[in-house]
Each structure stands twice: as structure tokens, then as C-alpha cells.
Amino acid sequence: MLYISTRGKTDMVSSAHAISNGLAADGGLFVPKEFPAISLAEIDAMRGTPYSDRALTVLARFLTDYSEEELKTCVETAYSKERFGDFPAPLHMLKKDLDVLELWHGPTCAFKDMALQILPLFLTKAVVKTGEEKKLVILVATSGDTGKAAMAGFADVPETEVIVFYPQEGVSDIQKLQMVTQKGDNVHAVAVEGNFDDAQTGVKKLFGDKKLAEELDEHACAFSSANSINWGRLVPQIVYYFSAYAEAVNGGRIENGEPINFSVPTGNFGDILAGFYAKLMGLPVNKFICASNSNNVLTDFINTGVYNRKRPFHKTISPSMDILVSSNLERLLFEETGHNAAKVAGWMQELADKGEYSIDSELQSRILKDFFGTWVDEVETRETIGDVYNNYGYVMDPHSAVAYKALEKYRLMTNDPTYSIVVSTASPFKFNDVVLQSLNPDKYEQADLNPFEAMKTLAELTKLTIPASMSELPYLQVRQSQVIAKDQLEAEVKKTLGLE
């Protein structure tokens, strides 16, 4: 399997090169030259099998320069019981036509663990395959969950340095504490005075700085990425769509071959794109509901064909979705235009220069065949958390609640009764105050809640067990306290690497 850039100005590379480089030299994103097929018989064979076996089936199609033994070691290590419990991605039934796919049973209680527990394993093997003898500097921009998951996955991995940039006021208290207490001599969390888009734009600028790349090269260092711009981060996410479908068939929820819907809380478009790629490979999917919060740039794009980031940025109770520049949309456009790299590069340049671009009606129609875009505001999100708990005794975090409500809106507007799966991306204990206020607004809505007092109260109210990694947070030492301006990312990287 060979990989090409969405901008079309680099040579084809192996998966090991795509994973170790992270971003293509022309500024584009690596994508497979073609998508392999997985048959209904192969999906049926996944029923009742360990998650690691399902992952091996999917990953072997894409990472063809890795041996079967290498991939087996990767998946069995990454998805072990010690890291994820009995099953990494279980379905939880809410009602006859709706299940929740829980992707937050990993070490950091967020769906990013599904990819970032295995990416370091891919990366260390990729370095050997490519003959790379440099230290890999993993740059990460995070809106909340990726940062901690990357730091946890790469902590003390030899010949790597991880630098995470997060918006100073744009993550939850728990998310921030998870990052600044992370152990590991090679991991660094840096707050940026700005929003996620400021951090992401700054990181992309560093990747495209040729002079900086030369300076790094002189010191035997090279940039790579743990964001979903890295193919090694995105490809493991394809697995859980196949796994969820197999679970639904195995549980008698659907017949094998029956199309279903997925509702996905969406910010940077990586998670939902992985589902779209699964569909290209043969997974029977009727519709992807692209669920946004008040930062509804994707909703507007899907429904109008105009991508316009020139709009107010809203800090919301679902902070991991507080994004106005969705990087992975570039990959979708590349696929839907039949790999027209010139068009894609032109749109990305317009976005950088003017803050917006427009696609033609034919392309928009193709996107609408697979995607339904809608958004959910703060009031609806809180009400949904309360309603789901009152109706089903199930506790959702705010991001998952956005996806649930978006599915309700889709069904109301389309009368589509298709069996559906809500993709749940974080434990409710990562957003204790918001969830507690939503479950009992009369008592807690106006309260100034300490996140750890709220955590204990939430556990007592819902009879849920606090994840061990959450309960230990108040007692961990704060190891990181850097705060920088949004134009100081390069200086911070050089300081961290000792290049000044």
C-alpha cells in the first residue's frame, strides 16, 4: 500500500514513511492511493473475536510494509486488558434502534486512546524501517483530549520528544490537570494564549518552516505529529467502526449487510472521516450524522458548500469540538473530487488567505449523500444529558450528548428509522461539573463546583465508579506550567530541544 499527498506535490511513500513524517512535505495530508475492501463475510467473522484480532484484520490492509508479527505485537500490546479492560470499544444499548459506542475505556478516558496507545508502537517500528536516525519531535495541538493521550502514549518512549500546545482557557479543568501532571522526561504541555485554532495554525506553520527543519536536521531531530493529520493516528480509528458493526450483528441488533447510521461528535473531522473510510472499504453505512456544537462551521459547509472560518469562536461545554478549522476535511475533499490535488490545494490556499472557500453543487451533493450536518447549542446539550439519564439511567459527557441530540434532529427531519450508533468519545467524569449541573440543575446549576468534589458527588448520584486515572488526579504533582503567546511556539520548541 502506497500513500500520496492531498496536495499532489510529493512522491508516493510507504506507510512507515507516512507515519514517521506525519505531514507531507508539500503541506498536504497523506492518504492511501486506494482503499482496500473488507467483505461482509470478513465482517461476520469478526463476531465474538477479541478487539485485537479485528484491528489486525483492518490494519494489515493499510500497513503492508509491517509484518504480520509486528502488527500482532502492536495490537495486542495497545489493546491489552491492562490498558482497556475487558473490551476496548463496547456497545451499550439504550433502546431498540439505538446503541452507544463507548470509546473511552482507555488510560486517559477519551477516544483518543484508541489510536494513541498504538501510534507510538507504529512509530518506533517505522523509524527502524525508514532508517531514520533522528530524534522525533512530536508536535501536538490539542483541544482537550489528544494532548493527554499523546503524552501518556509517548511517555519515555526512546528517541522521541512530545510537545503539546493547548488553549490556556479552552480545555476543562480535568483535561488540563491530566496534561500538566503527566509523568515522563520527554513530554511537555504548553498553554497558548488563544484558542485551539491558534495552536493548530501555529503547529502547522512549524511543520512548513523549511529553515526550522534544516536547523532541526543539524541537531539530528525531525518533526512528526500525533494529531489526526498523521495517518498512523487516523487508521486505528477505522477499526472501531467495523468492530461496532460486528458487535451489532452479534447482538442481534441488525442482520449482516444491513446499512446503519453513525452519529459522531465532530471537531477536526478525523473521527467521522475514519467512519467514511470504513464505508469506502465496504462497511454498510447509510448516513454519518456530523454533530457540531455552537462552532458550527462544518454544519454550514455540509448544508451550503461554503467553508467560512470567519465567525465568532465560542468557548463551550464541549471544548474538544471548539474548532473552526477542521484539518481532516481536506482528506474528504481529496477523495470526493477523485484525487484532484490541484483543486484541494487551491481551496486550502483560499482558506489560509481569505478564511473561506466554496465547492460546487455537484461535489456538495456527493457529500450530502453520506453526511448529514447539524449542530446543538449549550442549552440542548445540558437538557440531553439530563433527558438521557432520566429516560435510560445512562450518563453521557457533553460531546456524546451533542451526538445524541444531533441524531434526534436527523430523525425528526428525515423520518429515518434506521438502527443507529452514537459515538461516545469521553467519560462523563472528564466533565464532572457540567454533567452534574445537567443532571440536577435545581441544586447545582448556580453552584461554584470544584471539579473533584463534583466528581465524588457525580459518582454518588449515579452509582458509577470513578476511573482510577481520574480519582488519582488531585494527588498528582503538577509538572508543567508554561504559558506562551500564540506567536511563541517556535521559540518554545527551540527552548525545549535546547536549540537556543
The residue among 238 and 128 whose pLDDT is bigger is: 238
pLDDT value of residue 214? 93
Looking only at the bridges linking them, the beta strands covering 30-32 and 3-5 are antiparallel
Residues 6+ apart with CB under 8 A from 108: 145, 148, 149, 152, 178, 469
pLDDT value of residue 285? 98
What are residue 265's DSSP bridge partners? 291
Count of CB atoms within 10 A of residue 234's CB? 24
Local confidence band at 1 (pLDDT 50, 70, 90 cut-offs): very high
pLDDT value of residue 41? 98
Contact 69, 44 (CB under 8 A): no
Active-site annotation, residues:
112
Local confidence band at 419 (pLDDT 50, 70, 90 cut-offs): very high
pLDDT value of residue 372? 98
Sheet with 98-102, side-by-side order of all strands? 91-95, 98-102, 420-424, 260-265, 285-292, 371-375
pLDDT over 90 (residue 479) = yes
Element (H, E) at 287: strand 285-292
Count of CB atoms within 10 A of residue 49's CB? 14
Q: 449-471 in b/e burial notation, b at 16+ Cβ within 10 A?
A: bebbebbebbbebbeeebbebbe
pLDDT value of residue 72? 98
pLDDT value of residue 279? 98
Question: Which triple of cell numbers denotes residue 449?
Answer: 463546583
pLDDT value of residue 448? 77
pLDDT value of residue 476? 93
Q: Across 295-366, where does the E strand assignment appear?
A: 306-308, 356-358
CA of residue 360 relative to chain centroid, distance: 28
pLDDT over 80 (residue 17) = yes
The domains found in the chain, sorted by start residue, are 86-110+232-428 (3.40.50.1100)
pLDDT value of residue 170? 84
**Nearest of 275, 251, 250, 271 to residue 261 by alpha carbon:** 275
Q: What integer is the mean pLDDT of 141-158?
A: 90
Amino acid identity, position 29 = L
Q: What integer is the mean pLDDT of 408-431?
A: 97
CA angle 392, 243, 50 (to 5 degrees): 105
Query: If you average pLDDT over every residue of the chain, what do you get?
Result: 95
Local confidence band at 411 (pLDDT 50, 70, 90 cut-offs): very high
357 vs 364: CA distance, rounded Å: 13
pLDDT over 90 (residue 447) = no
Local confidence band at 450 (pLDDT 50, 70, 90 cut-offs): confident
Q: Which pLDDT tens digit goes with each residue over 173-217?
A: 899 999 999 999 999 999 999 998 899 899 989 988 989 999 999
286 vs 194: CA distance, rounded Å: 38
pLDDT over 90 (residue 499) = no
Percent of the chain residues topping a pLDDT of 90:
88
257 vs 42: CA distance, rounded Å: 11
12 vs 1: CA distance, rounded Å: 10
Local confidence band at 66 (pLDDT 50, 70, 90 cut-offs): very high
Q: Which pLDDT tens digit goes with each residue over 355-393?
A: 999 999 999 999 999 999 999 999 999 999 999 999 999
Count of CB atoms within 10 A of residue 185's CB? 8
Percent of the chain residues topping a pLDDT of 70:
100
What are residue 31's DSSP bridge partners? 4
